[in-house]
Amino acid sequence: MSTIKTKDGVEIFYKDWGPKDGQPIMFHHGWPLSSDDWDTQMLFFVQRGYRVIAHDRRGHGRSAQVSDGHDMDHYAADAFAVVEALDLSKVFHVGHSTGGGEVARYVAKHGQPSGRAAKAVLVSAVPPLMLKTAGNPEGLPIEVFDGFRKGVADNRAQMFLDVAAGPFYGFNREGAKVYQGVIQNWWRQGMMGSAKAHYEGIKAFSETDQTADLQAITVPTLVLHGDDDQIVPIADAALKSIKLLKNGTLKVYKGLPHGMLTTHADIINPDLLAFFTS
């Protein structure tokens, strides 16, 4: 397996496909998944001459199941460790859900200062803040995330099946075409990871206020979101993010779910390509 070691000694698994002199695209996965969630996108772009990179977040997939560091700062620093180890420059960074939060923190804190980030894409992403607070009344109440924590602690295996078979891909909607393989693959990826990382990661994706990250980003940024996202509601995410970005473009997909990069890759991939070549 291809791995790098972070400054705090955590082994991070990564994939690196395509020509070493190709334009690099780095993909950042969502909770509680792994780099495998990007296989469709990685194959699409490597076949078009790009160099595609994806890593498993600490505690997820094939990366080390360490006890600590399950927060957005460590997520971004780990991604930067991969970029530095591979000596990537002018990278296009694409993040889904929690991975979108990772991209926002990475670009703001590491990518722009180092000059290694050229463009960013936030897909169904969690910024600026998911949690309902006095200053963010449109957010989701803490009870929603406490329910996620309880599900992970009580019966993670069943919870992961329920999420994948229901709201994540919109399979709970009337008339939806249900892909059993997609459900099983989501479950497989989730169960590869650490329950502790998943439990603590809920706080990271729900309570991290990334307003300042978005305001700091100056590279061209594409924000993609489905208006039927049942996991990260668009009104509290993309519609707010686009107002905070200095150089952002928003595209809303009518009726598409949170996991649209998988269920509707035939739509998402060409839109990513158009942004990368613009």
Q: Give the catalytic positions in this structure.
A: 97, 229, 258
Backbone angles phi, psi at 28, to 5 degrees: -120, 115
Contact 127, 104 (CB under 8 A): yes
Cα–Cα nearest to 56, from 46, 66, 48, 45: 66
Across the beta sheet with 91-96, the strand order is: 3-5, 11-17, 51-55, 24-28, 91-96, 117-123, 221-226, 248-253
Cα–Cα distance, 37 to 30 (Å, whole number)? 8
Helix 39-46, helix 265-276: angle, nearest 10: 50
- Looking at this protein, which amino acid is placed at residue 250? L
| Residue 58 dihedral angles phi and psi, to the nearest 5° | -55, 135
Q: Which residues contact 182 (CB under 8 A, 6 or more apart)?
A: 164, 169, 259, 262, 263
What is the Cα–Cα distance from 182 to 34, expressed in whole angstroms? 14
Give the count of beta carbons closer than 10 Å to the beta carbon of residue 108: 21
| Residue carrying structure tokens 């309880």 | 150
> Please, what's the b/e burial string for 89-102 (b: 16 or more CB within 10 A of its CB; e: otherwise)?
eebbbbbbbbbbbb
